[in-house]
Amino acid sequence: MARQAKREWAAVIRGIWGAWTKRERRRATLRRKALRFEPLEGRSLLATDLATISGRVFKDVTGNGYNAGEEVAGAAVELFLDDGDSIFEPGAGDNLLANTTTNGLGNYAFNRLTAGTYFVRQPAQVVGAVSLNSTASSAITITPLEAQGVTGTNIDGFTTIGPSITASFPAGSTAQGSQVAAEALGGERDLFLELTAAANVLDDADFQAGGGVLNWNANTGARGRYVASWDGVDGNGGVLAQGLGGIDLTDAGLSQFLRMGVFGTDKPNGTAQVRVYSSAVDFSQSALTTIPQVPAAADEILFDYTAFTVGGGTGATLTNINAIELEIIANDNAMQGQVTFFAAVGPTVETQNFANFTPADLRIAKTVNNSTPNVGQNVTFTITVTNDGPFAASNVAVSDPLPAGLSFVSATPSQGSYVSATGVWTVGSVASAADATLQIVATVTTSGAKTNTAEVSASDQFDVDSTPGNNLAAEDDQASVVVTPAIADLSVTKTVDNNAPNVGQNVNYTVTVSNAGPATATNVAVSDVLPGTLTFVSSTPSQGAYVNGTGVWTVGSINSGANATLQITATVTVGGTTTNTAQVSAADQFDPDSTPANGVAAEDDQASIPLTTPRLLTKRLFLAE
């Protein structure tokens, strides 16, 4: 009975204490909530060194701005601070602040600049084969507003009220909530709160957003871990979804930081950390960063993308982000603080390019020593490239590939070198009002007209009336000559003295090859192979020789307007129909309407004639058994 009485009395005490605790906790919570949206210390200062001067050093070949391949890597660039008169005076008032060199794309940058007036200079220098003159920019002014940078992707401005969550005694308790908000990235902000310390039942912590602030607060014996997340609309503050759709936090390379605006904390040991996720397992994180304590001057924290480290998996890809977390850890009891905004930010960029535009007017002339050679003869081409200025031309190259039908023999340049495999003459530099020459010797190997073209294919300088390598015949940096081997129009006719002979009889074929000119035909050959139904007896050519074993009549030369004949005598050995064909098989000269040895019956350099021989009939006597 005594034990039962003690248990009943303990229950009464617990009920009284529990009722008192709920009332007191309610009053304490209401007192804190009355202060939640009051700024700890209102300030409007932001970073004042988020300006950049950047640009590219390049050799403007075409005069129309930068084109790929014109960049100058490894060029020196200098930054000067103006002394107040906006006149560039290096060494006489304008101080050299920094120098750098261009990267592989010819780009340079001077970062984290404050408000002021600056000059950028490209000093005179030779980079590889590129000569650069000394050039300075005009005055570049960065205003105080520009020095605060440019906001990119907005993560949250906290204007929509909610959610508001509370985690109460004991330590380890949690709370979570979500709020659809138009200003929140992904359309919703999620809040999660863990009570990390609590001395008694009165201790709790609050976490809420609205009115332009994200507010955290704890009472005397409490502290918390506060996590705000943006992962799309999922209605769950306790689970990190991946619903942002792969946003680009770099804003196409323009943003370099995440900026968190703060009013600070009332205690010294609060920290903040950002985590960004490309997937549930692949994320990167910033270092733990101390939140400024009131009344510290700083009112923002910049999380530099380059300082993020892999937190899980392979790390996050900043151009493909699906969730973001901001974690605030209160390492002091009763700490309160406020965040005013959270967004990506990049520098204000002032661009200063160095184009190095120095025009040089190049032109080409081309000649050939013999424009009507025979096949097998050599011809000599002479190419002259002239620079009409006003600047010297550097890294000049001329393209002169030999066309089909011309076989390279030799090249003699006045400067530089010619590579027959590529057809490129690497000329080098040509001073204003100077020229360079190249002689190419080639053998004509086939008939037909051949056009040989030379064109300026490269130069560091802009040409006022032509563009290297564009293959426009009307421009003066391109010239052509035509080599046309001599033309001889050969035709073949063929007759037979008896087109219906008997087996065992001889027939006489007459083959005539005629040259309609205009040039003498040389090294003419005619193919006339007897079919298997005929046996060769003899041949009588008017010129040249006929070889029965090959069926080739080596004719030789035929003057324009002349002809040559061949008579072949053969014995018919098999009855039936057979066809004998003769065709021009070779000639040095181009034939305008036929091609030797191509077997096309419709062409006039080929002729055929049929023979029909009666077959012998054999009588057989069949005897009856």
The mean predicted confidence, pLDDT, of the chain is 90
pLDDT greater than 70 at residue 621? no
pLDDT greater than 80 at residue 361? yes
Please answer whether residues 229 and 186 qualify as being in contact, where contact means their C-beta atoms are separated by less than 8 angstroms: no
CA-to-CA dists, residue 463 to 131, 384, 456, 477, 556, angstroms: 17, 17, 10, 9, 53
Residue 312 φ then ψ, to 5°? -165, 150
pLDDT greater than 60 at residue 14? no
Q: What is the mean pLDDT of residues 30-40?
A: 38
More confident position, 20 or 148: 148
pLDDT recorded at residue 296: 57
Q: How far apart are CA 3 and CA 5, in angstroms?
A: 5
pLDDT recorded at residue 48: 84
Beta strands in 133-212 (DSSP E): 135-136, 140-142, 150-156, 164-168, 174-180, 188-198, 204-210
Strand, helix or coil at 148?
Answer: helix
Q: Which residues contact 568 (CB under 8 A, 6 or more apart)?
A: 508, 509, 511, 528, 530, 536, 538, 539, 546
> What's the pTM value of the predicted model, to 2 decimals?
0.54
**pLDDT per residue as tens digits for the range 310-360:** 999 999 999 999 999 999 999 999 999 999 999 999 999 999 999 998 899
Q: Which of 154-158, 247-251, 572-576 has the lowest mean pLDDT?
A: 572-576
**pLDDT per residue as tens digits for the range 417-473:** 999 999 999 999 999 999 999 999 999 998 789 999 999 999 988 888 999 999 999
Q: How far apart are CA 272 and CA 205, in angstroms?
A: 17
Q: What is the mean pLDDT of residues 86-111?
A: 96
pLDDT greater than 80 at residue 13? no
Q: Which residues contact 505 (CB under 8 A, 6 or more apart)?
A: 498, 571, 572
Query: What percent of the chain has a predicted confidence (pLDDT) above 90?
Result: 80
Q: How many CB atoms lie within 10 A of CB 182?
A: 9
pLDDT recorded at residue 12: 34
**pLDDT per residue as tens digits for the range 491-521:** 999 999 999 999 999 999 999 999 999 999 9
pLDDT greater than 90 at residue 170? yes
pLDDT recorded at residue 590: 85
Positive or negative, the Cα torsion across 518, 519, 520, 522? negative
pLDDT greater than 60 at residue 58? yes
Q: How does residue 46 score in pLDDT terms, banded at 50, 70 and 90? A: low
pLDDT recorded at residue 30: 38
Q: How does residue 227 score in pLDDT terms, banded at 50, 70 and 90? A: very high
Among the residues of 223-317, which ranges form H helices? none
**pLDDT per residue as tens digits for the range 62-97:** 778 999 999 999 999 999 999 999 999 998 989 999
Q: How far apart are CA 275 and CA 463, in angstroms?
A: 54
**Four-CA torsion 33, 35, 36, 40, nearest 10 degrees:** -160
Strand, helix or coil at 82?
Answer: coil
pLDDT recorded at residue 23: 36
Q: What is the mean pLDDT of residues 594-600?
A: 95
Q: How far apart are CA 622 and CA 603, in angstroms?
A: 53
pLDDT recorded at residue 42: 35
Q: Which residues contact 290 (CB under 8 A, 6 or more apart)?
A: 268, 269, 270, 271
**pLDDT per residue as tens digits for the range 260-279:** 998 878 899 999 999 999 99
Please answer whether residues 577 and 609 qualify as being in contact, where contact means their C-beta atoms are separated by less than 8 angstroms: no
pLDDT greater than 70 at residue 38? no
- What residue type is assigned to position 177 of the chain? G
Q: How far apart are CA 12 and CA 17, in angstroms?
A: 9
